[in-house]
Structure formats: structure tokens, C-alpha cells
Structure 1
Amino acid sequence: MNTRTRPLVLSLTLAAVLLATTACIPLPSPLGPDGAAGLPTSVPDDAQTPAPGESTSVAPDDVSDVFAEREEYFREQQLPMDGSPLVAVTPAQKEFIAEQRAYVEQQGSTWTSTDENLALALAGDACETAILNRHRVDATTLNTHVATSPLFAQLIPSDLQGAARTQAEKPIASVMVFGATFMCPADGDAWVAAYKEVYGG
């Protein structure tokens, strides 16, 4: 099945409403000022890149290659590391935003630069998580990502729990997963499968 299925292209309307309920917090880049984002629990946060002259043998918990891949991904995607708003620049990003915008406008909503920033931030964050998890993405990865993501935390009221929280997460996660099929297509199928397992088809 094509990962770019229309059911996953949901409107950002709910996300916009939720954002309004959180005092219109400016949407951040998926990267913090130091280029770091929330790390999965399986990756030690004190890992360091070996200094020149040190042994280059790979230990089981060595994550320097993961961080190198992440940095390369940031460069390829031209993701700003200063917290400035995200704008589609690569062909894949532009295709994602064009399709998402068309869908939102078909629903009678107005597309804004905030929507573009949010969509790109969500997708970029998912792609970063896939890299940090060595491209092992499943339902547990998705649940952990949603539970620890600063973006989801800003968009969904903290006191929302249970089924209501799941329903609030679903359209936001849908946009994230749809964007991942463009911005990190090698991980797209895994994100789609995880989404379907967690939230249904």
C-alpha cells in the first residue's frame, strides 16, 4: 500500500485550535538552540563523539555514528538550528507542504505559515527520532515519541487524558507520519504501520 494514503493527510485545524488553547505558544523548530531534541530512552544522553586519536572500535553503546547521521540529515534538509520558523526548501518538503496545504484548503480552512512550520517541525522531529533509534520504528517508538515530544506537549493540554488525549494526538500524529513519508521515506512505511497500530487505520 502506498504510504502516502489520503486518510493520513488530516487537517491541521485541530492542531491550530489546540495551539490557541495553549496561549498561542510560538511553534519551535524540531531542534533546540544547541541542535538537540529529546533523545529516545535507549540512547545514552551522555554519549560523546570519540576525540581524534581515540580508539574507533565500535562498542555496543557507541552512538557517534547515529549523531553523525543526524547532523548529516539536518544539513540535507536545511533545517535551521536557531529556532527560526521552518519553510519548505527541498523538493520533498515542498511536495509534502503542497499536498498538505491542498487538503487543508479543500476542507475549507485557511493555510498559514504557522501550519507550514508546524507540519515541517512534526515531520522533521519524527525523522530525527527514527535516526536516533537506528531506523527501528514501531508502535512503542511512536508512543514514546508522542509522550516525550515538546511539540505534542505544546499542542495538547497536559490535563487531557485517556481517550480524549488519544483523539487529540491522532490528527497531529497523522500529519507527522504523512510528512515523514516525504522527509525520510526510508522510514515512512514503518511510521505508517506504527500509526495504524496505535491509532487505527
Structure 2
Amino acid sequence: MPSRSSAAAASLIVVALSIAGCSFSIPVEAESSSTPAAPSSAPTPSAPTPSASDDADGDDPMADALAERDQFLADQQLPLDGSPLVAVTPAQQEFIAQQRAFIESQGGTWDAQTESISLALAADACETAILNYHEVDASLLQAHVASSPVFAQLIPADFSADQRLAAERNVASVMVFGAGFLCPEDGPQWEAAFTEVYG
């Protein structure tokens, strides 16, 4: 794990990178003089990709996907008003328990903001999978990372290309790990896409 100076410990990027170790990550040293703004708690999906079979039988696949997304949000009991996310379902609680245990085993301190960010990343991945008809691949992962406001707010704009890639990989590992709990049917596809993109 990276060493933790008092300035770095206050930075969200260090928190985000430090929580990235449960399944996939290799933690990296990331120092930044700026602290990114707190991300919005409400997940924001990537734009869905219509398929060739859309509306072939008079059905509206996007309407179905939107209804499924709304049901997912209701089932997850996620607030949509920008308030912090807190683990409330058994799956969320298990995800957060494992993340917290990892951070604390590395000498880190868990806080409400880290919990909210972790849940936002995972829920965002699940919502994106739903709105893309559960067709998750490397291209979708790359588009999601590039367009996600949560990633944008966690990773400082002044990072070098190598720092950015390492930070994206570590934040994405938290997202993919969490998706395995919140939307386990999409978890294997997210894992495969992660492995293809980040190795």
C-alpha cells in the first residue's frame, strides 16, 4: 500500500486507490495537491447502445431497460437526491464489510465518504449494465470509465498518463468488485472486461 502522509490521507484519490485491493488491484502511489470534489451519490449510467433487434416485435427494449433500472434502484434503496449512500441491503452490507476489512487490515481508516463512493461505483456499474441490456464488454468498460462523473471526480486532471491509467484501474477494480455483490448476474462480464482492459 502507498505510504500515507496527512495530506495524502485527506485526498479522496488516495482513499479510492486504497480501497481498490479486494479482488483485482495493485495499489499505486498517487500524490495530488488537489482534493477532488465529492462525487454525486446518484449513479449515472453510460449511454446505452441500441441493438439491431430493437423494436423488431413492437416491443421497446429501452423502456424495458429503464423499468428494470428503476426497479434495481428501488430494490437497492439508493437515494436519488444526492445524499450519501449507506449500505442497507444484505449484498451491499457484505460488499462494504469486505472493503472495510481490507482497508483496516492495511492500516487505513474507514469513513462514511468511502462507503458512499464504493457503493456509487458499484451501483453505477450495475445501472450501466442494465441500460446496455446486460451486454458488458471491454468497450463498454472503457466508455463507462471515460464518461463516469465519479471517475472524473476521483482522478485528478493533472495526473500523468501512467498515473491516470493506474488510478483508473484501481478505481475500476472497486467498481467491478462491488458489482459482483449488487448485480451478481453481471459480475462475471465486468470481471472479464476488466481483465481484458487492465490485464
Bucket of the pairwise TM-score, normalised by the shorter protein: 0.7 to 0.9
- 1:7, CA displacement in angstroms? 3.5
Per the alignment, residue 47 of structure 2 pairs with 40
Q: Deviations over 1:146-190 (max 9, x none)?
A: 000000010112243533211111110010000000000000001
5, 10, 21: which one aligns with 2:34: 21
Q: Percent identity?
A: 51
Q: Deviations over 1:42-78 (max 9, x none)?
A: 25xxxxxxxxxxxx9215xx41000000000000000
Tell whether the 8 Å contact from 1:86 to 1:120 is kept in structure 2 after alignment. Answer: yes
Tell whether the 8 Å contact from 1:11 to 1:104 is kept in structure 2 after alignment. Answer: no
C-alpha separation in 2, matches of 1:95 and 1:13: 28
Unaligned runs of 5+ in 1: 32-36, 44-55
Per the alignment, residue 170 of structure 1 pairs with 169
Cα RMSD (Å): 2.6
C-alpha separation in 2, matches of 1:177 and 1:188: 7
User: Normalising by the residue count of structure 1, what TM-score does the alignment of the two structures yield?
Assistant: 0.78
- 1:39, CA displacement in angstroms? 3.5
Q: Judging changes above 3 Å, is the alpha-carbon distance between structure 1 residues 146 and 176 closer, same or farther for their aligned structure 2 residues?
A: same
User: Normalising by the residue count of structure 2, what TM-score does the alignment of the two structures yield?
Assistant: 0.79
Unaligned runs of 5+ in 2: 1-20, 51-56
Q: Judging changes above 3 Å, is the alpha-carbon distance between structure 1 residues 163 and 13 closer, same or farther for their aligned structure 2 residues?
A: closer
**Residues 106-121 of structure 1 mapped to structure 2, 5 A cutoff:** 106-121=105-120
C-alpha separation in 2, matches of 1:41 and 1:81: 20
Per the alignment, residue 185 of structure 2 pairs with 186
- Length, aligned pairs only: 174
Is residue 23 of structure 2 the alignment partner of residue 7 of structure 1? yes
SS at match of 2:185: helix
Q: Judging changes above 3 Å, is the alpha-carbon distance between structure 1 residues 139 and 66 closer, same or farther for their aligned structure 2 residues?
A: same
